Amino acid sequence: MNQPLQSLEQLLDRVSQLTYNNHQVSVGMVVESIGRRSFGPLLMMIGITLFSPLSGLPGMSVFMGSFVLLIAVQILIGRKQFWLPRYILNRSIERGKLQKALHWLNKPARSIDRFLKPRLTFLVRNGGSYGIASLCIIIGFCMPFMELVPFSSSAAGLALLALGLALVVHDGLLVLLALGSFSATFILIVANFL
């Protein structure tokens, strides 16, 4: 059984291991590698995907938005192990593209991990996780509109990455940073539509 993830660098390493023997890496393979009880690492993975160059792929924001909604609803209803439909689990990416994105993220991941520690834990434990799930639902519903505003999905990815990391390392400061990042993104989206 896989050890629980405790950092962003560990998540990237675990996903990177999947690229050694596989030409295509599916969402299902990543889910199995991080564990089906791992809501935080799964949000981290989505955030990394949206924050990386992969966010430029057409339809990525809509796809990831539906993924976020599924995860957040399951957190809200108190599931201990998440479920994902087969069409999400079967989605895959070519090994070279994934390796390039992971390489691009390695150095920032090491830098971020140095600053993480448990603090403001009331924002991530017990009732705090419901607040995180609620924020994820709002982000998920906004994702389709982010296809129309350049770089907004990357900002949302940063917020989701922070929320996932907050759940993993119990760092409530990351919840506040995610809230600030998404608020700025939401204002940008609204300003573009007015």
The pLDDT of residue 175: 92
Q: Identify whether 74 is part of a domain.
A: yes
Contact 43, 163 (CB under 8 A): yes
What does pTM read for this prediction?
A: 0.76
The pLDDT of residue 55: 65
Q: What is the rounded average pLDDT of the residues 59-68?
A: 81
- Placement of tokens 């966010």 in the chain: 55
Q: Identify whether 42 is part of a domain.
A: yes
Q: Identify whether 124 is part of a domain.
A: yes
> Tokens for 116?
């993480």
- Placement of tokens 């603090």 in the chain: 119
The pLDDT of residue 176: 93
Which one-letter amino acid corresponds to residue 52? S
Q: Which domain holds residue 43?
A: 8-193
**Count of alpha carbons within 13 angstroms of residue 153, beta-carbon side:** 29
Q: What is the rounded average pLDDT of the residues 101-119?
A: 84
**Alpha-carbon gap, residue 16 to 22, rounded angstroms:** 11
Q: Identify whether 123 is part of a domain.
A: yes
Q: What is the rounded average pLDDT of the residues 135-152?
A: 82
Average pLDDT, the chain: 82
The pLDDT of residue 36 is above 70: no
> Tokens for 32?
């199995």
Most confidently modeled range among 95-99, 161-165, 185-189? 161-165
Domain count, the chain: 1
Q: Identify whether 1 is part of a domain.
A: no
Q: How many CB atoms lie within 10 A of CB 29?
A: 15
